[in-house]
């Protein structure tokens, strides 16, 4: 009697575990298929950029290159010496660097100051001020393009990297203020009070007490701003053209204006150079 029961239970358990293994496999296969879906374009970009045009025409998207050639990377980065007037990315890559670094630094610094003033030195109407900052994150930039273009013209900095630095610094302020404000809200006011009793003033507390513990939010803000400004196309394409263009604009021009024969390998190499991939962003964005 007892053995029978035992056997029955073992059977039930076995079928349950078989069912569990089946679901486990289904789970992994589904996750795997999605992983392939997200990775496929990356794979296609890389192998296409390493093929010759001859091979691209003969094979298909997935066929591996018979011979790995880096020519298209060279062409995308520094052009061909015999073809005058073709677009290549090197100068525009540096344009983007010259635009991103100051714009990120300026917007992050003022965002930190604003966040600090809004949370640790509350004043009447500070919530309204914050709300007005916050809404700046959401406006469609089409609503400010025309006046901005005119303003840059009046200031004499249209079609220049300086102009783009100004624009990105201004419209980054909303985001940086939001980030720092939300971070400083969670820092206990007692710290500030203690420093004030010790006689520290507004700036001293900011630089000596708050900034040293702001590393996590500085990293988040810098990554966010860097990615957004690097990836921007709307401002870049409206406020600059020709030599002052940032890399996204140059990349788009390059893909659009292949005059004679379309060179997909060069396009893909250029796209790869134009992408800015930050591991920290993806690794850090989900906790747990």
Partner 1 sequence: MFYWLQKNLPKIVISPSFAVILWFVYGFVLWTFYISLTKSKMLPRYEFWGIDQYFRLWSNPRWFNAVENLLIFTVLFVVICILIGILLSILLDQKIRAEGFLRTVYLYPMALSFIVTGTAWKWMLNPTMGIEKLVTDWGFTDFTFDWLVNRDMSIYTIVIAAVWQSSGFVMALFLAGLRSIDDEIVKAAKIDGASLYSIYITIILPMMRPVFMSSIVILLHISIKSYDLVIALTAGGPGISSDMPAVFMTQMAFHRSEIGLASASAVMMFLTVLAVVVPYLYSELRRQDANA
Closest C-alpha to 181, from 217, 220, 216: 217
Cα 191 from chain centre:
34
Give the C-alpha distances (Å, rounded to integers) separating 259 from 54, 81, 139, 239, 246. Answer: 18, 16, 37, 25, 21
> Whats the size of the chain, residue-wise?
288
258 near partner 1, judged by CB under 8 A? no
Asked if residue 22 binds partner 1 (CB under 8 A), the reply is no
Report which of 47, 39, 38 is spatially closest to residue 269, judged by C-alpha positions: 47
Q: Which is nearer to partner 1, 218 or 263 (CB)?
A: 263
Q: Which is nearer to partner 1, 160 or 252 (CB)?
A: 252
CB of 4 to partner 1, least distance (A): 26
The CB-of-97 to partner 1 minimum distance in angstroms stands at: 15
Site string for partner 1, 65-104 (x = CB under 8 A): ----------------------------------------
CB of 3 to partner 1, least distance (A): 29
Distance CA 128, CA 84 (A): 56
CB of 44 to partner 1, least distance (A): 6
- The answer to whether 164 contacts partner 1 (rule: CB under 8 A) is no
The reply to whether 41 sits near partner 1 by the rule CB under 8 A is: yes
Cβ contact 274:247 at 8 Å: yes
Q: Residue 179: name the closest of 123, 111, 244, 260 by CA.
A: 111
Residues from 218 through 257 that contact partner 1 (CB under 8 A): 227, 230-234, 237-238, 248, 251-252, 255-256
Give the one residue of 9, 10, 42, 101 binding partner 1; rule: CB under 8 A.
42
């Amino acid at each position: 009697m007892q053995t029978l029961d035992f056997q029955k239970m073992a059977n039930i358990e076995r079928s349950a575990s078989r069912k569990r293994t089946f679901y486990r496999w289904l789970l992994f296969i589904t996750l795997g298929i999605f992983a392939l879906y997200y990775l496929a374009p990356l794979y296609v970009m890389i192998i296409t950029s390493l093929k010759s045009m001859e091979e691209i025409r003969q094979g298909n998207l997935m066929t591996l290159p018979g011979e790995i050639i880096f020519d298209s990377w060279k062409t995308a980065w520094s052009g061909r010496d015999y073809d005058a007037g073709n677009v290549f990315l090197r100068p525009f890559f540096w344009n983007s660097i010259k635009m991103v670094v100051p714009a990120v630094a300026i917007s992050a610094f003022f965002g930190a100051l604003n966040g600090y003033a809004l949370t640790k030195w509350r004043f009447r109407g500070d919530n309204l001020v914050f709300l007005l900052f916050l809404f700046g994150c959401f406006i469609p930039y089409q609503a400010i393009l025309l006046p901005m273009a005119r303003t840059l013209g009046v200031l004499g900095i249209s079609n220049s990297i300086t102009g783009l630095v100004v624009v990105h610094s201004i419209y980054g302020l909303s985001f940086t203020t939001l980030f720092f404000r939300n971070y400083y809200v969670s820092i206990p006011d007692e710290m500030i009070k203690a420093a004030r009793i010790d006689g520290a003033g507004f700036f001293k507390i900011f630089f000596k007490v708050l900034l040293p513990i702001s590393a996590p939010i500085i990293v988040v803000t810098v990554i966010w701003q860097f990615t957004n400004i690097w990836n921007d196309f709307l401002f870049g394409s409206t406020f600059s053209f020709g030599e002052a263009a940032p890399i996204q604009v140059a990349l788009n021009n390059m893909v659009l204006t292949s005059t004679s024969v379309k060179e997909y390998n060069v396009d893909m190499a250029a796209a790869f150079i134009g992408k800015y991939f930050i591991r920290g962003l993806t690794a850090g964005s989900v906790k747990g």
